[in-house]
Structure formats: structure tokens, C-alpha cells
Amino acid sequence: MFLRDRLKFGNTFAVLLTLVFLLILILSAVSLLIPLAIEQSDNLKLLDNDEVSRNLEIFANQVSEFFGIQRVNIYELVKETEYYQNLILDFSQT
């Protein structure tokens, strides 16, 4: 409306100019994000995954101790059930 009414541009030229402006705006926003993504990927390459997993395990243990939560191994509990033992026996018989 502004380009067409105030600046007396033709309708087609005003639409074209608006689309070009929006395209430039979107491309500039993307160009601001690309260096940030590259920098973050470089930081992730420097990350020691084993140390992070050890730290997470230590943190989980500390949280469990703080709240008094007993860590349960689900697989061991399932192995102790009668259903699991019968299921394994049924497979071994065939």
C-alpha cells in the first residue's frame, strides 16, 4: 500500500519490490545464524563424550542418594519373574 499509494509505484513493481525486501530480510536472518551454528559445531567437536557420560552418571547417583531413590535394574527384575522363566523354557523346548 505504501509503495503503491505514497510513492506512486505500479502494482507489479510494488509487489516485486516487497518480495525482494522480504527475501533479503530472510537471507540476512539466516546469514546471522550460520556462523553461530558453525561455532557451536566446533565446540561440540571438542566435547569429550566419555567424560560427559561419567559426569551424568555421577550426577544421577548423587540425585538418587539425595532423594533416597533406589536405582533398579529393570532387566534383572524381569529375569526374576516367573513369566520370564517360563517363556525362556518354552523357547528352549522347541
pLDDT tens column, 8-47: 888 888 889 999 999 999 999 999 999 999 999 888 888 8
Give the chain's mean pLDDT. 81
- Inside any domain, residue 86: yes
Domain count, the chain: 1
Q: Which residue has the higher pLDDT, 78 or 13?
A: 13
Query: What values do phi and psi take at 73, rounded to 5?
Result: -90, 105
Structural domain including 86 reads: 2-51+68-93
- Inside any domain, residue 57: no
- Whether this prediction's pTM lies above 0.85 is answered by no
- Inside any domain, residue 58: no
Distance from chain centroid for Cα 80: 36
**Amino acid symbol at 70:** Q
User: 66: closest CA among 74, 58, 76?
Assistant: 58
- Inside any domain, residue 63: no
Residue carrying the nine cell digits 517363556: 87
